[in-house]
Structure 1
């Protein structure tokens, strides 16, 4: 193999790691002519959700199981381009109060950032993964994915999701909740089904109104149910109410979860199978499902397709930013001016601050939405904007990504709060502070809102000092902007930062 061909193959390689509540999965693939070719798949039953106590703290044993698994994944991923790898964590880490401890240890052995995604973002990626395994035949479809700690429900057509929901019920959490002593009884199974039906009432009316033509299931529980039904002769293809009922009756003959021994259900799934079966039973009954097919596509496949989309300038995150601008009546002309100035300053000092070129995108997004808080009130609008960015559903963004945007907007005016950056992963804190400083200067320079053009200063770095070289006569020509810049010097000084005008 020539060196050139080897480099091309390496550059086309992409990977997704899915830190699920029940299992961790890694998928390495190659992007080739608009398609994804799977090169390697690995999975391990970590059962992270089983390690959550009543206060939602992960046990040391559960953390170690996860870290040990990721250490193995990390060996395989070593040397790959960080921008071609996504590592997503789902419900167990959404719920874990000590997730920061887990993430820090996980990143150390894995070698790549671990991002926690919201339930609706998980649902979007699942649908994307499923949609790429289905015929492009039109008609709305319902997709159900039963995970370890949550179950996602999506209605979509072709590659576009139209309804996204994530409910707090999963095979691990339900087994732990209703079969904690390991004993299987009809009474407890009925309670589990009833609890799932209660959760489903949150979406039943909306989903029934939207409607769908076909039903598809993804991930381990639904795959195991389909295989068990077919292997035992209770059905020929997919899952039907009759086949599901026969499987349930068979499972309820076992005394404990450890006794479950059904052809088609792998040994490492048997201990949590009963909880997932109860959820699927409730789904069939509540949504009146007659036939469900299994799809190989799921979260990690969707994450890979999303990654490919980003490289082809189809980044759903940019659509989310545009949606926020529209929803909160942003002055887009002013946002564009600030964005252009911020990017021009960033490009001058990017190499000196050790920032990857891709970080310009975060500065760009922050500039576009830095004024969204004005739709609530002018007083403290930077705080209102930060709250909206942190707590809104923003498809494509991880929890950490939304926190980064929120902190950039929170600190774009008035007092700078460097201590708030401790909410970010350690790897992001220094660069985030530089992005804040650049954004602030860009906003000050465009304070006139195009009442007059302000020349762009030359930016440079001297250790931690941000140097701005102003054109000759600048201060006399732009006295108001000059005064604003002097105030900005003092505000950065109060935060222990040096901004020098020369």
Structure 2
């Protein structure tokens, strides 16, 4: 991605003032950015930028990113930032994948990257990555009812998804990728039949745990996405074998690969220089997938994670947010009392609307409170004792489709903090000032929801810096001593963290 190309594209696009949407994928092998326009509800890509960064190759044995790897990534993002400068973006989302999930010092990289992009970065879970990949692939395929399996071999992980139309049915993210396997099985660039077989069998072992479930559900069509599979498809085509990938064609390709003694010397028509060294590892993983799932033929799709991120953003604008379905499924799985949850939800949002201006709360904060109010009693299905802790654990450690890791962490802290002593993690969080306010609103809503005698008519909330005043009609609180006692207990818990609650 050269300076010249950036400036040329800048002149071409800046002449059009229409707002853009963009997605940035911070992958384990490469960073990619896709820019698009939305016309008649459809996304029309107008630019794709990408650069090989190989974050996964910069992970040490104790899972820390090297300074060199971080510098490569930050330099790439500086180029993306220059491209973004002066453009109007209607929506922009930046997601990080396996290498950033795995790195213990990913926070250091993310903090610097967010300053460069002037935008938050989401590190997404493996299955959420799989969901977004499937969405990106599905949008580029014919809209039929045939069940398909999608395989995406990345730098640090491989995602496998079975779905129908735009809905995934099975999702999995496995710890095998072309960069990670290159470092593990082809260290020093040494290439041999024995090393190739070691990588192949390691991938087969990773696939063992999911083989039967995937075969049982079954599929009609097999689709591959991202760089490794694109490379196989384009090489086969350049060699005159057609773009469709089969097991027999890969055997021919494997024999050609093993003619080379070093991964850096691997040469094929249409194989980019920056993919030469990692191509054998990607091939070994793909062959293992073919054999594990008895795949006969696969075709390549241009759609992948970044396209899925774009369509996911568009879906949210159209109120087709997958997160609503995720919450509903979680509530059903853990038998949440929906009537009670909806009551807490109504009061929470009503309280939020009264103080949002005073506390300078935003729409995203309301969304977080909305989720927490619906899920605050999810832990009751495990045990009534300390159910707020159980609920927080379930939320933080479940695969919640549509949510990133930080959203799950904040949601878990709110659920943990909705009763009794506020958790230490909430008070020490980098966004503790906001989380404390949302927690107070949630706890207030729960007290209000306890009132079930039909006499409750009106209340007002007045917010200060670390204060909240709840006012009722004259004498109403005196006639409802249980509610008064409920609020007195809340005063005690909140006073311990330096927050003053006043009720009159």
What TM-score, normalized to structure 1?
0.94
Give the C-alpha shift of residue 121 in structure 1.
0.9
1:295 maps onto 2:297 in alignment = no
Look up the match of 1:133: 140
Mark the CA change 1:282 to 1:451 in structure 2 (over 3 Å): closer, same or farther: same
Please give the alpha-carbon distance, in whole angstroms, between the structure 2 residues aligned to 1:122 and 1:232.
33
Of 386, 407, 418, the residue aligned with 2:392 is 386
Please give the alpha-carbon distance, in whole angstroms, between the structure 2 residues aligned to 1:463 and 1:387.
30
What TM-score, normalized to structure 2?
0.94
Give the C-alpha shift of residue 232 in structure 1.
1.9
Look up the match of 1:214: 221
Give the C-alpha shift of residue 351 in structure 1.
2.1
Please give the alpha-carbon distance, in whole angstroms, between the structure 1 residues aligned to 2:88 and 2:399.
28
1:301-450 residue pairs with structure 2 within 5 A? 301-417=307-423, 419-423=425-429, 426=430, 428-448=431-451, 450=452
Give the C-alpha shift of residue 317 in structure 1.
0.4
Runs (4+) off by over 6 Å: 79-83
SS at match of 2:25: strand
Please give the alpha-carbon distance, in whole angstroms, between the structure 2 residues aligned to 1:48 and 1:331.
45
Mark the CA change 1:361 to 1:238 in structure 2 (over 3 Å): closer, same or farther: same
Look up the match of 2:11: none
1:359-414 Cα distance to aligned partner (Å, 9 max, x none) = 21111111011001111111101000000101111111111111111000000010
Q: Structure 2: where are the runs of 5+ without partners? A: 1-14
Please give the alpha-carbon distance, in whole angstroms, between the structure 1 residues aligned to 2:158 and 2:113.
24
Look up the match of 1:266: 272
SS at match of 2:278: helix
Mark the CA change 1:215 to 1:362 in structure 2 (over 3 Å): closer, same or farther: same
Q: Please tell me whether the aligned partners of residues 489 and 499 of structure 1 are also in contact (alpha carbons under 8 angstroms).
A: yes
Mark the CA change 1:465 to 1:418 in structure 2 (over 3 Å): closer, same or farther: farther
1:153-302 residue pairs with structure 2 within 5 A? 153-233=160-240, 235-302=241-308
Q: Please tell me whether the aligned partners of residues 466 and 498 of structure 2 are also in contact (alpha carbons under 8 angstroms).
A: no
Mark the CA change 1:461 to 1:333 in structure 2 (over 3 Å): closer, same or farther: same
Please give the alpha-carbon distance, in whole angstroms, between the structure 1 residues aligned to 2:406 and 2:88.
20
Please give the alpha-carbon distance, in whole angstroms, between the structure 2 residues aligned to 1:80 and 1:396.
27
Of 64, 89, 100, the residue aligned with 2:71 is 64
Look up the match of 1:73: 80
SS at match of 2:462: strand
Q: Please tell me whether the aligned partners of residues 78 and 111 of structure 1 are also in contact (alpha carbons under 8 angstroms).
A: no
Please tell me the root mean square deviation across aligned C-alpha atoms, in Å.
1.8
Mark the CA change 1:408 to 1:83 in structure 2 (over 3 Å): closer, same or farther: farther
Aligned residue-pair number:
490
Give the C-alpha shift of residue 159 in structure 1.
1.1
Q: Please tell me whether the aligned partners of residues 126 and 297 of structure 1 are also in contact (alpha carbons under 8 angstroms).
A: yes
Q: Please tell me whether the aligned partners of residues 418 and 495 of structure 1 are also in contact (alpha carbons under 8 angstroms).
A: no
Give the C-alpha shift of residue 81 in structure 1.
7.6
Give the C-alpha shift of residue 471 in structure 1.
2.2
